Amino acid sequence: MLDLAAWAADRIADIEGLELATATDLTVVSFRSLRGDDETRRIFAGINAAREAHLSSTTVGGIFTIRLVLLSQRTTRDQVEQVIRRIEALVSAD
């Protein structure tokens, strides 16, 4: 699980327009849009609206942040890749 979270963090960090909000902590990957809270909220809503995965949110230093949390040992790299592709599509859609 830790390796999968680290891999996901690397993939998200490579998406133009996004940044990791914090260092990956165990299986929690926190990220946000470089375009600000409104854009981060739009991406967050789009991910959860697809109902393929449920991501959570928090604020870090007063900035809205999306959290990808990997909890189930049954989660596969293919499933996480699908979520990351959805994130990429939402970032590109703007």
pLDDT at position 1:
77
pLDDT at 16: 95
- In this prediction, residue 94 carries a pLDDT of 62
pLDDT at 2: 81
- The span from the CA of 38 to the CA of 45, in Å, is 11
Query: Over the chain (94 residues), what is each successive 10-residue block's mean pLDDT?
Result: 90 96 92 96 94 92 95 90 94 79
Q: What is the DSSP letter of 42?
A: H
Report whether 70 contacts 4 (CB < 8 A).
yes
Q: Which residues contact 67 (CB under 8 A, 6 or more apart)?
A: 28, 29, 30, 55, 56, 57, 58
Q: How far apart are CA 58 and CA 91, in angstroms?
A: 19
What pLDDT shows up at residue 53? Answer: 87
Q: What is the pLDDT of residue 73?
A: 87
**Total structural domains within the chain:** 1
Query: Which CATH number characterizes residue 12's domain?
Result: 3.90.1150.10
Match 């979270």 to its residue by tokens.
Answer: 5
Domain carrying residue 35: 2-92
